[in-house]
Structure 1
Amino acid sequence: MPAKSESQNTTEAGPCAGLRVVEIATMVSGPYTGQMLGDLGADVIKIEASGGDPMRTNHPMHEGMSAYFSLFNRNKKSICLDLKSDEGRQIAADLISTADIVLENFRPDTMERLGLGYDVLKESNPGLIYAGLSGFGTDGPYKNKPAYDHVIQALSGSMPIMGSPENPAPIPHIIADKVASIMTCNAILAALLHRERNGGVGQKVSTSLMKTYAAFLMPDLLNNFYFQSAPVQKIPNIRIHHPLKVKDGYVMGHVQLNPQFQGLCRILGREDLIEDERFNTPWARIFNYALFWKELEESASRMSKAELLALADEHGVPIASVNTVEEFMEDPQAIHTECFIDIEDPEYGRTRMAGFFADFETSPASVRMRAPKLGEHTEEILTELGKSGEEIAAARNARAIG
C-alpha cells in the first residue's frame, strides 16, 4: 500500500493537546495554520458563515465534500454562526472566552467592526493568543487591498527570476499562502511559549502574506543587496537547475561539490570534463551550468533512469528521478516516512492526504478527524458551552446559527 493507513480514532496526544483554537478563517492561509495546530493535537473549532468557507465549492468533490477543502481542514469541528447578528457574535465571544488561540485572516479592522477585536476579547480572556493573518499587514498604504497568492508573488520581485524579465512567471501553486501558514503557526507557538514563561499573559500576533513571503524568499534574493555600504560585483541570475533526459524520462541533480561533479563525469563516461576549466570549480560550473549539462546530454540519453540512479548512489552524486505525483506516491522513501496517509472514512471511503512534516518521539502529530461538513458540530459545541436545547432552537430560528 503506497501510504500509511489509519482509522479516525487515533487517541495519541500531540504536543498541543489540551489547547483550544477558534478559527475564523477561509481559503488557504488561515485554514492551513489551523490544520497544523489540529495535527499537533489542539482542539480546533472552525466558525463558518451559512455559506461556508468558499473552498468548500472547489472540485473534485464526492458526496458534497470538496477534496481541496478537506486537504486544509482536517482535525477540526465546524460551527455555523451569523457574525452579523448580535446573538451570533455573542456565541462567538463565549466560545473564544474558552480558547487559548483565536485565528483569523480577515482584512485589518474587520474583527473590530464585529466587536470581536483583541482589545475586547482579552478582557474576558487575558491569556488569549490572538493571531491575525492579513494580506499586507495591519497598517500601511496597502492594508485594505485584497491579497491573493499570485498578487503577492507578483509584488515580491521573484517572477522575473522564476521566468525571465521578458516572460515573468509565478510558481504555479499557492506557495505564498502556505508559507504564511507555516510562519503563522510558528509565531503562535512562540507566543504560547512566551505565555507559559510570563504568568499566562496572552498577546496579539500579526502576520501577513506579504511579509512572510518576503522573509521566505529574500535570503536567496538579497545577495546582490546585502552589502549596502560598499560597491560589489553583482551576480547575474543564473539557472543552475537543468533536467537531464534519459531513455525513459528525466532525472535532475544539484551537483555542487567537486567530488560530486567528478563522480557524475565518470558515471557518464565524460572524464575529459573533470579538468576542463569551464567546469572544474563550483563557481565555474555555476556560470557555465547550461553548457555543462548540455555536454552530458548525449551520454545520459543512452541510459535508463534505473541505471543512472544506481550509479549515482554508488558515486555519491545527488540526483533523483523527475517524478509525477503518482510516481512520488509510490516512492519507497515517501512511503517509509509517511509522506502520505490513507484514512478509511465511513461516508467518503478511503481518502488520501499529506502526512505531518515532523516526527515527535513521545507526542506524535496525528490525523484524528476528516474535514468537517458545514456546521457538523454546531449543536455539540453549543451544548458544551452550556446552551440548552431550547436556547439552541431559538438561536436557529433567529438564524444566528446554521
Structure 2
Amino acid sequence: MSTLIKQNLFEGFLESSFVGFEKSREEGKASFLSQGLPTLKSEEYKFTAITKKLEQSLSNLNAAKPFDLSEEEVREVIPQGFEGAVLVFSNGHLLKNRCLDINNLDFSSLSEKPETPIGSIAKVEKDAFAALNQASFDGGVFISIPKKEVVEKPILLLSFNKANEGEIISPRIWIEAGDFAEVTFISHSINKSDKPYFVNLVSEVKGGLNSQIRYYRVQNEGENAFEVSNIETNLLQDSRFTSVTLSLSGEMVRNNLSLNLLGSNSEGNMYGIYLLNGKTHVDNHTNVDHTIPHAESNELYKGILADQSRGVFNGKIFVRQDAQKTNAFQQNNNILLSNDATVNTKPQLEIWADDVKCSHGCTTGQLDEEALFYLQARGIDKIQAKGLLLFAFAGEVLEHIENESFREYCINLVQERLGSKF
C-alpha cells in the first residue's frame, strides 16, 4: 500500500469527523492500519485494482463536504411513480431539511444516536474499506422500523455525490427492523460532478424475528467515480431479506454483500444485474453464512458486457456443521458483446453439514446466434432482435423487484441502456 495515500487518509481527514463513537473509531483505525488497502496480491481483490486506481485518480484525499440542494433538484430525480418517504444525503450527510414525506418514519442522524452498535454486524476485520469507513465516517443515518409495523410504501435513500473540498465520501447507514416488521428500501445514487470521487459506503441491517426487508439499489455514478460498498445483514428466525442491485456506470465499483442467517426458516435472496460498457469495472462479491438448520438462500447475478468493460463475480456460500437441512442456490450468467470485454467469475461452496441441498454454477458466452436469426427471419431487424434477447436475459432479475413502480423504472433504465449503448 502506498505510504502517501495511507498518510493522507489519516492526516486531517479523521480530525474532521464528528464527535462520538470513539471506541468504534479506534477499532476501525487499528484494523485499517493493520490490513492496509488491498492490492492485486490480496485474494479478495485479485481482479480489482481499486487501490492503484485511487492512487492514480485522486489528488485530494480529504472528506468531501456536504452541499446544499434545492427541493426542485431533489424532486426532479425521484423515480417516476414513486410514493413514499425520501431521505436525502449530500456527500453522505443527511439533509433533514430536504427529506420528503417523513412524518411517520423513525430516523435520525447517527450523531444523535451515539449508542448505535456500529461495527457489530459489518466487522472491520473482514474488509479494509469497512475498517476505513468505521474509522473516518462523518455522516450517516439511523433508521428504525418498530415491532409489527408494516411500512406499505418504500423508503427512498437518495444520495447526491460530488467532489468539492475533498474527494472521499463515507456514508454510514444503520437499519433495524423489529420483530414482524416489513419494509422496502430503494437506494439511488446521483452524480453531481465531472471530477473523480470515491464513495466508501457501509450499511448494517438488522432483521428481527419474522421481519421482511427488501433492499433495492441503482448504481449510476459518474464515469470518473469509484465506489466500494459493504452491506451486511443479520437475519433472525423466520425473517427474509431480498436484495436487488442494478449496476450501470462508474469507473470502478466494488459491491460486498453479506448475509448472516442466524435463525431457522430465515431466507436470504441476492439478485443483481450489471450492464457495462466503455471501460467500466464492476466487482460483485457476495457472502452467505448458513449457521443454523432449516434456512434458505437464493442468488442470481447476470452481466452484459460490451466494449472494454470488465465484470467480476465471486459468490461464497458457507454451510456450518450445525446447519442441516440447508437449501442454497447460486448462479452467475454473463454475455460478452465484444472481444475486449472480460469477466472473472468464481462461485464457491464450503459445506460442513451433510444433509443439505446446495448448487452453484456460472456461464459466460456470446449472444445466441440461432435465436437472433430466428427473430430476424420473422421480420424483426437485427438491432431490435438483439435488444429483445438481451432484455429477456436481464429481465429474470428484474422480476424480483416487488414494488411495481420501481420495477417499471428499472425496466426503463435497462431498456434505455440496451437500446443506446449496446
The TM-score normalised by the length of structure 1 is: 0.21
- Greater relative contact order (CA < 8 Å, ≥ 6 in sequence): 1
Which one has a larger percent strand, Structure 1 or Structure 2? 2
Query: Normalization by structure 2: what TM-score?
Result: 0.20
Larger Rg: 1
Greater helix content? 1
